[in-house]
Amino acid sequence: MPTIDEIATFAKKKGFVFPSAEIYGGMAGFYDYGPLGSEMVMKIKNLWWKSIVHDRENVVGINGSIIGSEAVWNASGHVANFIDVVAFCKKCKLKIKVDKHEIGKAKCDCGALYENLGEFNPMFSTEVGVIKSEAVKAYLRPETAQTIFINFKNVLDTSRVKLPFGIAQIGKAFRNEISPRNFLFRMREFEQMELEFFTHPDKKNDCPIFEEVEKVKVNVLTAKEQAGTGKMESMTMGDLLKKKIIKTKWHAYWIGYRYNWYLDLGVNPEKLRLREHVPEELSHYSAATWDIDYEYPIGWKELEGNADRTDYDLQQHTKSSKVDLSYYDEDTKERVIPHVVSEPSAGVDRVFLTLLMDAYHEEEVKGETRIVLKLHPDVAPFKVAILPLVKKDGLSEKGKEVFNNLKQKFNSFYDESGSIGRRYRRMDEIGTPFCITVDHESLEQDDCTLRERDSMRQIRIKIKDLSDIIKKLSEGEKLETFGKFIN
């Protein structure tokens, strides 16, 4: 696996990610996605939205405002409780953010203990209003969840949802990190994909779809083991629920579902784990939190969090706004404040970084180093590249014909410059799973060569069958199903 710095260099060179305002020296904690990165990010968000919203009957989406009233963040507890500690290494002169419970324990990479320089609230504040004396204080949201909670009643009144149900959102959030670092891992501007899943407070175990994830196998680091040997265990989600390591069925369902989402995208299972938050690190709103961690070059770090927020947020906003945010249960004929039994919260940027790092491979091929991104076809910037063998003899025209047909169904790339071997390598480096070569035989037989990225094997197929075969290959069917290897 490359280092964080190496992947940042690679991402810039290939057009995935650029430092923001680079021509002015850059700005720490801010990045811009290039042509390839933008395609990949869009696919990540679309896949998440499909799996969380479109594939379900009981989840709807919103798109809330980025700037929020000071009243919102006072009610949520962020003004009072969203506090980080500035830690300083006297030896390295490095300043970083640490959690309060780490003070006195956290060590710098040089081995020295960090010194506490004090607390700070990482929210960005601003003023709304053109006349300074009349302007009101507001904040750029540090999380997307609160715009879901303050729109809870609006969703209830307009969407005909019934418990249990979820409200999902994808959007930007902002935190004034003391020391943004490690490329996309810790940023000041980032994008979140969050779901707040609401249940009746007495029905947290009424989950009829738990069997979908019951057999999902996970690596687990419990709070108990963190206080002891620190040893991970391998068990199923069913085991975690049966042993009451995870307390409620709905929480276990969403943790298992999200863990499996990463496995389905091809993330190395040996580099994924579940980690339970120890009591002293729980957020002010959380009854229980589990992280899905990935083993980066900088160690095991959070990829996605999942908290049981209970009824904390709806109660707080009910008290502060004086607006009734309860739910009338038709079955029990009573009003209740629903509980957020599960809050899967993933950073788009961390998911992007994880997929990029996990897919990066260097291989020796015929005495040369081949860099290949073994991205899942559904997240690769381009699914297929069309490469005429040469520009002349009508091959460009035939290649454009194939390209124009395929681009209607897949994000496709056309390239006719350079040797075919060099073009294959370029496509390998940016993760394109399938390459189509149009040659002189194509003009006579109306067929082409289809090359698979990971194995570099090729088969000969009819051009009319391309769309169907690429779709099936993307879904996991083997290349040899559709023809004999020709190399």
Report whether 235 contacts 220 (CB < 8 A). yes
d(CA 193, CA 177): 20
Q: Identify the pLDDT of residue 103.
A: 62
The pLDDT confidence band at residue 92, using thresholds 50, 70 and 90, is: confident
d(CA 419, CA 435): 14
Task: Count CB-CB contacts under 10 A for residue 480.
Answer: 12
* 114: region left, alpha or beta (phi > 0 left; psi from -120 to 50 alpha): beta
- What strands, in cross-sheet order, belong to the sheet with 412-414? 412-414, 384-388, 434-438, 447-452, 458-462
* Secondary structure element (H or E) that encloses residue 9, with its range: helix 4-14
Q: How many helices (H) and strands (E) does the chain have?
A: 15, 26
Task: Count CB-CB contacts under 10 A for residue 266.
Answer: 16
Amino acid at 442: S
d(CA 115, CA 95): 9
Query: What is the rounded average pLDDT for all residues in the chain?
Result: 93
Q: Is the pLDDT of residue 160 over 90?
A: no
Q: Is the pLDDT of residue 131 over 90?
A: no
Taking only the tens place, the pLDDT of each residue in 189-233 is 999 999 999 999 999 999 999 999 999 999 999 999 998 888 999
Q: Is the pLDDT of residue 383 over 80?
A: yes
Q: Identify the pLDDT of residue 11.
A: 97
How many alpha carbons lie under 13 Å from residue 87 in its C-beta half-sphere? 19
Taking only the tens place, the pLDDT of each residue in 221-256 is 999 999 888 899 999 999 999 999 999 999 999 999
Q: Identify the pLDDT of residue 99.
A: 65
* C-alpha gyration radius of the chain: 25
For the record, the structure tokens of 157 come out as 């009144």
- In angstroms, the Cα distances linking 409 to 46, 383, 447, 467 are 16, 10, 19, 8
3-state secondary structure 78-90: HHHHCCEEEEEEC
The three-class DSSP label of residue 314 is: helix
Q: Identify the pLDDT of residue 104.
A: 65
Domains of the chain from N-terminus onward: 12-81+128-347 (3.30.930.10), 83-120 (no CATH), 382-482 (3.40.50.800)
Question: Which DSSP string do the residues of 180-196 spell out, in sequence order?
Answer: -BTTTTB-SEEEEEEEE
The three-class DSSP label of residue 168 is: strand
d(CA 52, CA 192): 14
| Upstream peptide bond of 122 is cis (omega within 30 degrees of 0) | no
* 235: region left, alpha or beta (phi > 0 left; psi from -120 to 50 alpha): beta
Q: Identify the pLDDT of residue 100.
A: 61
d(CA 428, CA 267): 18
Taking only the tens place, the pLDDT of each residue in 317-335 is 999 999 999 999 888 889 9
Taking only the tens place, the pLDDT of each residue in 29-64 is 999 999 999 999 999 999 999 999 999 999 999 999
Report whether 416 contacts 399 (CB < 8 A). yes
pTM: 0.93
d(CA 333, CA 323): 20
d(CA 120, CA 141): 16
The three-class DSSP label of residue 280 is: helix
Report whether 296 contacts 357 (CB < 8 A). yes
Q: Identify the pLDDT of residue 374.
A: 98
How many alpha carbons lie under 13 Å from residue 229 in its C-beta half-sphere? 4
For the record, the structure tokens of 357 come out as 């790092």
Q: Is the pLDDT of residue 102 over 80?
A: no
